[in-house]
Structures are given as C-alpha cells and as structure tokens.
Amino acid sequence: MRYSLISPTFKRPDEVSEFIASIAKLSYPREAFEVILGDGTPGDALRPIIKQVANDVDLPVKVVYQEFLPVSDARNLAAAAAEGDVLIFLDSDCLLPKDYLNKVDHGLTRDGWDAFGGPDAAPSDFSHLQKAINYSMTSPLTTGGIRGGKQSTSTYYPRGFNMGMKAKVFKAVKGYDTAFKCGEDVELSIRINEAGYKVGLIPEAVVWHKRRSNLGQFYKQVRRFGSARIALARQHKGQMKATHAFPAVFMLTWVAAFALHVTQVFTLGIYAFHAYFLVIAILSSIKHLNPFVGLLSMVSTAVMFAGYASGFMAALVGRPAK
C-alpha cells in the first residue's frame, strides 16, 4: 500500500459524497491507495451514505467512527488504521483532480520530501463566490502565498486540506495534538520541521477546495484561524511573525482612516485602502476572466481580514474563538 488518503468528516453528506466520487476517478492504481474517513456524525447517520456512494463508484472506503469525534482525534484514529507508507490528510470539502496522486508521486521522487503539502485552487465550474474566497485565501496580495503556491517561503508549513507525510514521520512526532481545536495542522507541521525532517511544497499537487458556501460561514472559519495563530505562538517560540498580525493592523488602520478622515493624512490612507482593494478586484477579474468574481474578491478579502483580525485580537486578550 503506497498511500492512505485520510479525511475527518462530520455531517455534510453531499460534500462527502463528492469527495469520495472524485477519489474514485483517480488515475492512480486502485490497489496502491486506500481511503479512510474519521467520522463523528451524531447517530452514525453518515455511514450509510458513505457506504452507498462507495458502492456506486466501486471504491472501498474505511470508516472509523466515534460520535462527535473532534477533527484531530478523527485524523489520529484514521491514521492508526492506515496501511499506507505515506499518509495524505485532506479536507472533505476538497475534490481531487484525477492525476493528483501521480503528481504527488512525481514530486516525492523528484524532491524526496519526508512531509509535503500542495496548493488549493478553484476550477472553472466552482461558483463565483467560491472562486472569490479561494482568491482571497491564496493570493500573494492577501495572504502572501503562505498556504502553498509557487512563492517560496523560508520555512514551509503544509496545511491540513492537502498535506502528507511518511507514516513513520507521523508516528515519530506522535500525530496531531488533540489539545488544538484549530490550527492543529500547522502545529503538526511545526513539530515536523522542528524534528529536522525534510518538508516542502509539491506545487503541481493541487486540490480543488470548495471552502465555505457563504460569507457568514467564511467569517467564522477565518476567525478561528486568527485565534489559532495566538495559540500557535504561545505553544511554539518564534511562531509569531509581523505578517501574522497584518490583518489585525490592517483592519484597525482602516477603521481609524475612516473615523479620522478629516485630516489629510488619514484621507490619503483611505485612498490607499481603496487602491489596494481595486488592485485585488482587477487581478482577480483577470485571473478568472470575470469582473463579478473580481468584485466579490474585494468583499471576501474584507470579510477574511475582519474575521481573522477579530479572532486574533480576541485570543490576544484571552477570549479565543470556538
């Protein structure tokens, strides 16, 4: 067994069904990979749907079940049942291109990573909002490309929507820290890096990430990301960079610019913010060949900054997001 594809699941039957169906279309030999889901859906209500979809697409799927199973626990239990030499952790709101494992294979052969990550993207058939949110989360203009892309970073930390590692590495670092309710993927990546393993990006190993379906859900998600950054900094020395505080500083400055626009300096600040969002709209419009996606990208970026800043500042004063 070469690969074990692992994902936590909790309700969302349509999402999980699409996830399984995309795996069934992989061009990689079926006998060389397995699929394991760590499920916490109340009443074991998701398992019959998983079984039906798996039968329909002729794909064996293992389910490790425990009611209300948290994300980190789900991943750890699924990993304990895995037989693959390489564990790949994915999110159930992702879809895999048919050549995904072939691209992972090529990257591992070429670079010899002990642990790795890949980027996420939005294909042409995603909704306008999904494309806008994806742009906000992945653009160098908004997140600096830290979630995986062609941009290089001094130290790369794979994210849980698309990250893998040798099974022996996962075992050596003792898996996910179940005390982390958000940011657990980055925390694991930090420990893998600190242990001296070779960690890197496989840029061609892209997953299609659906993310949240509306801006309210997206706000709540990124608010938890902001809160998690404080927890990571407290757990691991040196994990607070100026870029991590950027969304909070950005939002506070933006509010100040509008509140104090009577002065010339802050009036110029407002123009600068307008120019920033205009550039986002233009570049996103060009990328997606759709000006409406560009306009939505301005909105989703503002929501992302506001959510992250809110969670970041709340955790800073001892009120972490849940």
Six-digit token string for 78: 């699924």
Q: What is the DSSP string of 225-268?
A: HHHHHHHHHHHSTT---HHHHHHHHHHHHHHHHHHTTTSHHHHH
Per residue of the chain (322 residues), give pLDDT as tens. Answer: 999 999 999 999 999 999 999 999 999 999 999 999 999 999 999 999 999 999 999 999 999 999 999 999 999 999 999 999 999 999 999 999 999 999 999 999 999 999 999 999 888 888 999 999 999 988 888 876 655 554 444 688 999 999 999 999 999 999 999 988 888 999 999 999 999 999 999 999 999 998 767 899 999 989 988 888 888 888 888 777 666 677 777 777 767 666 665 555 556 667 777 888 999 999 999 999 999 999 999 999 999 988 988 898 888 887 776 6
Could you tell me the end-to-end alpha-carbon distance of the chain, in angstroms, rounded to an integer? Answer: 37
Question: At 82, which amino acid appears?
Answer: A
Delineate the domains of the chain, giving CATH numbers in brackets: 3-118+158-211 (3.90.550.10), 219-316 (no CATH)
Question: What strands, in cross-sheet order, belong to the sheet with 94-95?
Answer: 94-95, 207-209, 120-121
CA dihedral 176, 178, 180, 182 (to 10 degrees): 70
Cα–Cα distances in angstroms (integers) from residue 311 to residues 108, 140, 190, 219, in the given order: 36, 22, 21, 10
